[in-house]
Amino acid sequence: MCLKYEIFGGLEIDPRSGYGITDLVRLFLIISKGPAGRTVIMRELGVGEATAKTIIKFLSGKGLIEQGTRGICPSKKGLDVFSICSSFSDMKEIHIPEFSDKPAVALVVRGAAGSVRSGIEQRDEGVKFGAKIVTLVKKSGGLSLAGIHDYQLPYKNVIDGVLDTKENDTVIISSADSKPDAERGAIAAGLKTISERHHP
């Protein structure tokens, strides 16, 4: 049975395929910056050649990507289907020993602070990928833990020095055993945040 994702136009992915919606989102974040070849896709997504080929074949068959001389890029249909990803800023690797000694990334979800309640929903999505998640919101010019106001983050200066955040943004920090898994966890938590905004 295929898993159906309504926020992506009812896109259906076979759970036996070896990849998931987080991998497709991560791929679109990559190719939205410029064409990418299979080697780059394998390295950035942390998947093998067979899985990379399967992803490309799936997206091509749906008309979501185009193949060029320098690699694949989004088609117009692909940009429409994955337009929701425009809410994500660049995902950046971040080093915060106070948070975790494992690989970590930070993802900014634009204008989504109002969709975050306690941060538990985002944490639970990250757990599915073995990721530790902390969700922050930017309110009144400062970052605070979701659901907790006036909390001084011990690593706030690190975050402010790396991320470009604006009022009402959500910041998801994700850490896991590998950078790809940390990215999957961050994207899963980000998608949960966006879905809450569209379906409160």
Q: Which pLDDT does position 73 carry in this prediction?
A: 95
Q: Letter for the amino acid at 84?
A: I
Give span(s): CATH 1.10.10.10, the chain: 3-84
* Cβ neighbours of 162 (radius 10 Å): 14
CATH architecture of the domain 3-84 equals: Orthogonal Bundle (1.10)
pLDDT-derived band at 161 (thresholds 50, 70, 90) equals confident
Contact present, 139 and 199 (Cβ < 8 Å): no
Class of domain 88-198: alpha beta
Question: Start-end ranges of CATH 3.30.1360.30 in the chain?
Answer: 88-198
Q: Are 98 and 157 in contact (CB under 8 A)?
A: no
Residue 200 has pLDDT above 70, yes or no: no
Residue 45, CA distances (Å) to 39, 103, 175, 177 in order: 10, 14, 16, 14
164 and 158 in contact (C-beta within 8 Å)? no
